[in-house]
Amino acid sequence: MLNPLKYFRKRNVGLALGSGGAKGLAHIAVMEYLESLGIPIHLIAGSSIGAVIGALHCMGKLGAFKEDILKLSLRDLLTLIDPVMPRSGLIHGKGFIRFMERYIPRNALIEDLAIPLAVIATDYVNGTPVVFRTGSILEALRASVSIPGVLVPVRYRDTLLVDGGVANPLPINTVRGMGADITIAVNLHPQIKKRGLRHYVKSTMSSPAVQADTRDIEINGEGQISRKPYPAGGATWLKAVEQWFRPDMGNSGMVMPNIFEVIAQSVDIMEYVNTMLILKYNAPTVLIEPSVIDVETLNFTDADRIIAEGHRACSLVRKSLIRRVRSWV
């Protein structure tokens, strides 16, 4: 049915893409689903992975990114990790920039994008959101994805910036401030994962022979690590990364989580609590909530399943998208 009210003035559709690491690959499905319904996106605000997917969409490179991410292996993922001596983070972030340069030129500016984009980061000193509406896309994205404890914070003016999800994991207010009349939000933290401590299992990694091994690593579901040959010269790199994935075998009969698991769970809890408050006081027109609770922060090798879940989540709100969004634009 035609809605005569929609002809009085143009109504802008704003998309708020939430933070959540690899969970955010579900944002790809949201973009595809909205396009299939003929719903235009006039404005985008994103935190962390939400900013990355939003920027790729604005650049017209999301399709190319999807093709690559669907083929990404664990070996490919590890080549993007550039370890540093742990001070303010475990990973420098140059690998992230190199990867993103496949799709976004280093000199590309936010203000030149055809679709207005806001990239959210967090001021480490005072805890407030920092919203990038101009400047280098890559530099803004690098700040926005600076997961505390994992990626080294970014120096910006007289402060440091960390992940946008720390201060604003679902930037509905930002996209409204950009001029959105209708808002669609994608929440990657509708619930929190309850992680049970695993029973103690003696690890072969404690043997000197394994510690001295210089082959590529592959992690299975039990946390065990297998190896395959890779070019020489990576022994130091391997040992650094391997330590992060190694579970802590204590004397209590339990396996303590590794450093990434501790950081990821802590960040997930923080973002879940903040997101619930955001939705309580700033509800969007339509809320999309993929069930990606089991997706780990850096599990970008499971893209096919995550994207499929994004499509499923969109299908659950199809009627709302048509009635509350498409009918008005």
Q: Where are the beta strands (DSSP E) in the chain?
A: 13-17, 43-47, 89-91, 117-123, 129-132, 149-151, 154-156, 159-163, 182-186, 198-199, 216-219, 225-228, 248-249, 254-256, 286-288
Query: Of 82, 144, 163, 216, which residue is the catalytic one?
Result: 163
Active-site annotation holder among 48, 144, 146, 216: 48
Q: Is 48 a catalytic site residue?
A: yes
8 A C-beta contact, residue 141 and residue 118? no
**Contact of 22 with 307, CB cutoff 8 Å:** no
**10 Å Cβ neighbour count for 266?**
12
Count of other CB atoms within 10 angstroms of residue 1: 5
Query: Can 163 be counted among the known catalytic residues?
Result: yes
CA pair distance 127, 47, nearest whole angstrom: 14
CA-based nearest residue to 170, from 90, 98, 276, 91: 276
Of 59, 58, 67, the residue nearest 25 (C-alpha): 67
Q: Which residues are catalytic?
A: 48, 163
